[in-house]
Amino acid sequence: MPERDMLFREAIAEAMREEMRSDESVFLIGEDVGASGGIFKCCEGLFEEFGPNRVIDAPIAEAGYIGLSVGAAMTEMRPIAELMFGDFALLAMDQIVNQAAKIRYMTGGQCKVPMTIRLSMGAGRSSAAQHSQSLQAIFAHIPGLKVAIPATPRDAKGLLKTAIRDNNPVLFFEDKMMYNDTGPVPDEADFILPFGQAEIKKRGSDVTLIATSSMVSLSMQAAEKLQDELSLSAEVVDPRTLVPLDEETILASVEKTGYAIVIDEAPKGYGATAEIAARIGELAFDYLDAPVMRIGAADLPIPFSPPLELPTIPDVDGIVNAVRKQRGV
């Protein structure tokens, strides 16, 4: 399959453009998604091609336009709602948790809610405590919602197209620090990636690093250091979706290596790292040569000041040191 390099944000835009071209029920709504192309420029060119009836600039009223999107989805439209910062999803919790997630079940499947909510996440750009959170685990906890969390431009495009086509509400988390990352993307209009299918980003035999979003890149760098400094071969597994979660791929890797470390940018407490570690403990305990370790952000609000902010989020050395501790080397 031919490929070409593109930015993460360009892959997002291309996925939306292709789906809007192929399905007139798809529309985009959010703050500044129109002529300005979105705060992170993920929507550039869409307003010019599809016009104001399908690329809708919403007011600063997240509860309002997320609620509108739920209603539109119930009437067989396929809205893509962009939340400028994932933190703002907290302003629409009733619409997401009590309406979008529940309606298909409460109607016995008679009413579908095919909507996608795109959310930026993550720290590292001095956006401070109210614009830097990683809230994916909150929504992964809610039955009725699916949660996708891509780590590369390729995955961003393939997973977003799948999200838009899904008949259930999908929370699609995009790390804002990756928008200008470049990577190969298949040059094929119908390229999609199924949910619930993890990818082994790097094969190894000595330790399994299970990483999400921007933590995948850090884990790949850590794997290089582990090979160079300790002659340890790390396998890097990217779940790509938290709901549904590909247990089979994760467990097969852990059964092979005997060691597992789970890395996610959100705080460790009650988060994705805890859930994945628990499943490994329940389903692969006999294969473990050491307890599962977890790496996440510090359990505190993200500071604004860069010298204070950066130490609160995982880094390459932290992953390498965790492997050293786990292996006793």
Q: What is the mean pLDDT of the chain?
A: 96
Percentage above 70 pLDDT, the chain: 100
Is the pLDDT at 170 greater than 80, yes or no?
A: yes
Say whether both 172 and 288 belong to one domain. Answer: no
Residues 6+ apart with CB under 8 A from 290: 258, 259, 326, 327
Average pLDDT over residues 147-158: 98
pLDDT tens by residue, 85-143: 999 999 999 999 999 999 999 999 999 999 999 999 988 888 888 888 999 999 999 99
Percentage above 90 pLDDT, the chain: 91
Identify the domain containing residue 238 by its residue range: 199-327
pLDDT tens by residue, 223-280: 999 999 999 999 999 999 999 999 999 999 999 999 999 999 999 999 999 999 999 9
Tell me, letter by letter, the H, E, C secondary structure of the chain. Answer: CCEEEEEHHHHHHHHHHHHHHHCCCEEEEECCCCCCCCCCCCCCCHHHHHCCCCEEECCCCHHHHHHHHHHHHHCCCEEEEEECCHHHHHHHHHHHHHHHCCHHHHCCCCCCCCCEEEEEECCCCCCCCCCCCCCHHHHHCCCCCEEECCCCHHHHHHHHHHHHHCCCCEEEEEEHHHCCCEEEEECCCCCCCCCCCCEEEECCCCEEEEECCCHHHHHHHHHHHHHHHHCCCEEEEECCEEECCCHHHHHHHHHHHCCEEEEEEEECCCCHHHHHHHHHHHHCHHHCCCCCEEEEECCCCCCCCHHHHHHHCCCHHHHHHHHHHHHCC
pLDDT tens by residue, 264-320: 999 999 999 999 999 999 999 999 999 999 999 999 998 898 889 888 999 999 999
Is the pLDDT at 1 greater than 80, yes or no?
A: no
Assign residue 140 the CATH number of its domain.
3.40.50.970
| Interatomic CA distance for residues 281 and 4, integer angstroms | 40
pTM given for the model? 0.96
Domain boundary among 152, 186, 220: 186
**Residue 194 domain-assigned (yes or no):** no
pLDDT of residue 126: 80
Say whether both 323 and 242 belong to one domain. Answer: yes
Say whether both 154 and 77 belong to one domain. Answer: yes
* Sole residue written with tokens 């890395």: 263
- Residue 28 in contact with residue 55, Cβ under 8 Å? yes
Torsion, Cα 284 222 154 56, to 10 degrees, reads: 100
Domain boundary among 186, 219, 238: 186
pLDDT of residue 189: 80
Is the pLDDT at 219 greater than 90, yes or no?
A: yes
Tally of domains in the chain? 2
Is the pLDDT at 73 greater than 90, yes or no?
A: yes
Q: What positions carry a catalytic annotation?
A: 62, 131
- Residue 238 in contact with residue 198, Cβ under 8 Å? yes
Q: Which two tokens stand for residue 44?
A: 């550039």
Domain boundary among 186, 220, 246: 186
